[in-house]
Structure 1
Amino acid sequence: MRMSRPEPVRFLRTVATMAFPEGRLLALRDARLHVLAPDGWTALGRERPPGSVWLSRAEAEQWCDTAGCDARFLDNVPGD
């Protein structure tokens, strides 16, 4: 049996709102959540927002494409 390491970064999407119809993209790294803002990642805290759903890396890239964000942000999530 082969064990794999957990992904260093996991992505989530918040529920849609009027201000953010596609939801917001979140990243979880080192037990800390960050939200993607137009100028990069902003630290949020440690608690997952209610209703947020896990995304694969490919789904996070698609979210960036739909939102008009540079997908290179996905490689630059701050860590502890």
Structure 2
Amino acid sequence: MEVKVEVAFLRAEATMAFPRGRLLAVRGGRLHVLAPDGWDVAGGPRPEGARPISREEAVEWCRFEGFDEEVLDAVPTPG
């Protein structure tokens, strides 16, 4: 039986390079950041100022930034 590990989404604070912030995801205790080619593991703790967002907000962020919302289901599972 496969156990589904939940994903929590966050949005980092806006910067000059990323005016709408970066999309982050935590799955199995591991932090990931969405890059142009998919999810990358982010080293270190959660960025200060990153705030939790709902999946619906993450979908909106993806639409605005030009990502297919299916990327939200592709956050790697640790291990």
- Same fold at TM > 0.5: yes
Alignment gaps of 5+ in structure 2:
none
Residue in 1 that maps onto 2:17:
19
Equivalenced residues, count: 74
Residue in 2 that maps onto 1:75:
73
Residue in 1 that maps onto 2:34:
36
Distance in structure 2 (CA, Å) of the matches to 1:77 and 1:46:
18
- Provide the aligned C-alpha RMSD in A: 1.1
Paired residue secondary structure (2:70):
helix
Are the aligned partners of 1:9 and 1:28 in contact in 2 as well (CA < 8 Å)?
A: yes
1:50-65 alignment runs, 5 A limit: 50-65=48-63
Paired residue secondary structure (1:45):
coil
Are the aligned partners of 1:31 and 1:46 in contact in 2 as well (CA < 8 Å)?
A: no
1:47: how far off?
A: 1.3
Extract structure 1 runs of 4+ deviating beyond 6 A.
Answer: none
Alignment gaps of 5+ in structure 1:
1-6
